[in-house]
Chains A and B, each alone.
Chain A
Amino acid sequence: QVQLVQSGAEVKKPGASVKVSCKASGYTFTSYYVHWVRQAPGQGLEWMGTINPSGGATNYAQKFQGRVTLTRDTSTTTVYMEMRSLRSEDTAVYFCARVDYYDSGSSFYFDYWGQGTLVTVSS
Chain B
Amino acid sequence: QSVLTQSPSVSGAPGQRVTISCTGTSANIGAGYDVHWYQQLPGTAPKVVIYGNTYRPSGVPDRFSGSKSGTSAFLAITGLQAEDEADYYCQSYDSSLSAYVFGSGTKVTVL
| Chain A residues within CB distance 8 Å of chain B | 35, 37, 44-47, 61-62, 95, 97, 100, 102-103, 107, 109-111, 113-116
Given contacts A109-B48, A109-B52, A113-B46, contact A47 B34 (CB under 8 A): no
Cα A47 to Cα B104 in complex, Å, equals 12
| B100 pairs with A35, CB closer than 8 A | yes
Residue of A nearest to B34 (CB): A107
Q: B70 in the interface, Cβ–Cβ < 8 Å?
A: no
Residue of B nearest to A114 (CB): B45
Q: B64 in the interface, Cβ–Cβ < 8 Å?
A: no
Query: Which of chain A's residues have a CB closer than 8 A to the CB of B52?
Result: 102-103, 107, 109
Chain B interface category by residue count: 20 to 34
| B46 pairs with A61, CB closer than 8 A | no
Query: Which of chain A's residues have a CB closer than 8 A to the CB of B101?
Result: 47
Given contacts A62-B99, A109-B36, contact A44 B46 (CB under 8 A): no
| A47 pairs with B55, CB closer than 8 A | no
| A62 pairs with B97, CB closer than 8 A | yes
- Least distance between A59 CB and chain B CB atoms (Å): 8
